[in-house]
Structure 1
């Protein structure tokens, strides 16, 4: 869910003078309280010690040297002795998440300045203005476009903007994804272009499930709940569903889905609307690919992976009976990774079906194809190797099929 935070600023002393700048963090990280200036003469060991102590480093040197320093910091974090993973999968997951959070905090301490308009005034720096514009929106005191989650609204736009180098590299990488797109085999090799902060459909298993599941025999429109990039709505439209209503509550996702349905030539059959879960009315098919893991997200892209308290999952299930046409189907696309992590047993999921007045008509399964499933060094390897993604075909209990 998007939130705009109060204005935050960064203050430091440089060349004997007090300086200030606007602060931006898409992950919602607070502005650092202690900032020192660093440059090409800064040693990696010194930078690492300062970052671990909570002191941020504002970079004034060469851009490529800043990237090398960030890599050096990452190596030092990775060389630290690791705790032995607990035998309990849920405890191992939480330990892994805590280590990831600490790693992100330390790496986020290397900062770079952006001039008004997003110019990066460092030696050998790339032109990041277009990438930042797409991620952050126009630089009018940081007001967001496309649903930025953190924005220093009301800050002086004449001041520089301070961001972590790690975040800026993520912005640059996301812009390349947006420009180049992601090939979707289920769309005949056409591409979907994800926005910054909108989950990219690089894991195509769930898309393949929607492409091959038999459509309900009951004619009527379809709803795509939590559409994201709009990829599932596009697949349904390409399969001949006459009308698809795609919903999301993230302004970035809504803009992204509209652009992608236009690109793919299905905008005439897909309506993208802002809604928390369901739109008004009923449909013969309602599809939802909720976040798969019941845990708290800590960054924009994690909103598509982590679902605190299974809120979206339960909201979808509990709303199906009120929004399905008689004889219609709800398609729940869900990985069982949470089960293997000990976070949500299968019995809890099936009990949620029963409590919502639903019955399982069928289930289609697919094995993951992503590299982590075969990476034995991954701390969660056992769970990832056992993971299966399923499309649950659900109907209203008591109705004839």
Structure 2
């Protein structure tokens, strides 16, 4: 599928979520970069966000995913886009070893149980990936670095997660919010009154939360 922010196409493999929701890709394409030396892309899927960051001038990227299908898919796309010399795709549950000045994650948005392979990109039981990213982030950021959390508020609008819990987790993880970019959905279901979730989808906002380590918080070395 074509990705306008990338100026190229990515090819999802079976069972790997396709980046049909282009608004979240656009957020990553325009957010101010804290550095261009190195970045991590956590839960890379097709590799689209790692590719966008590489095209923006980030020199070295490590993209991770725990799903072997996603790792293979991301590697194929990165190779096809001519970025294999700058992007390493590794199998990992969340973070690679070390630290980076930029760590990006677009976790599944709905805290519910997946029932098919592709659902793992949409459903996050118990907010496992979301909270795992938040609570591990400070230990993988370089001093002054930023974590970008890309998250829809659809789960909040459906009563499955609260904004108060999200902000509490951010604070408890030793992080602070330094900025946020918001966008509205452009997909057809957001304007389809026949959709049973139309009210929530029509009001949905997708945000890129810019997070930094809270002042005075000391984190253990990244593993």
Give yes or no for TM over 0.5: yes
Equivalent of 1:341 in 158, 165, 173: 158
**Residue aligning to 1:73:** none
How is 1:25-174 mapped onto 2 (pairs within 5 angstroms)?
none
Q: Larger Cα Rg: Structure 1 or Structure 2? A: 1
Alignment match, 2:116: 299
For 2:190 and 2:174, how far apart are their aligned partners in 1? 34
Deviation at 1:265, TM superposition (A): 1.0
**2:211 is matched with which residue?**
394
Q: Which structure 1 residue ranges, 4+ long, deviate > 6 Å from structure 2? A: none
| Aligned-partner Cα distance in 1 for 2:119–2:23 | 18
Match of 1:344, SS state, is coil
Name 2:183's counterpart in structure 1: 366
2:149 matched residue in structure 1: 332
Give per-residue Cα distances to partners, 1:184-215, cap 9 Å, x unaligned. Answer: 00112x10000000000111010000000000
1:265 to 82, 85, 93: 82
- Measure how far apart 1:296 and its partner are: 0.2
Gaps of 5+ in 2: 217-223
**Where does residue 47 of structure 2 map in the other structure?**
230
Q: SS in structure 2 opposite 1:186?
A: coil
Aligned to 1:44: none
1:307 shift after superposition: 0.1
Cα distance between partner residues in 1 of 2:210 and 2:84: 26
Q: CA deviation at 1:221?
A: 1.1
Q: Normalized against structure 1, the TM-score is what? A: 0.53
Give the 3-state SS of the residue equivalent to 2:5 in structure 1: helix
Instruction: Compute the displacement of 1:223 (Å).
Output: 0.3
Q: Give a deviation string over 1:199-258, Cα, whole Å, max 9, x none.
A: 0011101000000000004x5310000000000000010001010000001111001000
Question: 2: distance between equivalents of 1:212 and 1:312?
Answer: 24
Aligned equivalents of 1:374 and 1:223: distance in 2?
A: 34
- Which residue of structure 2 lines up, in the alignment, with residue 38 of structure 1? none
Question: Aligned partners of 1:193 and 1:251: how far apart in 2?
Answer: 16
Total equivalences in the alignment: 216
Q: Aligned equivalents of 1:256 and 1:187: distance in 2?
A: 17
Unaligned 5+ residue runs, structure 1?
Answer: 1-181
Please provide the CA RMSD for this pair.
0.8
Kindly indicate whether residue 29 of structure 2 is the aligned counterpart of residue 214 of structure 1: no
Give the corresponding residue for 1:54.
Answer: none
Q: In the alignment, what sits opposite 1:198?
A: 16
- Using the size of structure 2 for normalisation, the TM-score is 0.95
Question: 1:291 Cα shift?
Answer: 0.1
Out of 241, 244, 256, the position equivalent to 2:73 is 256
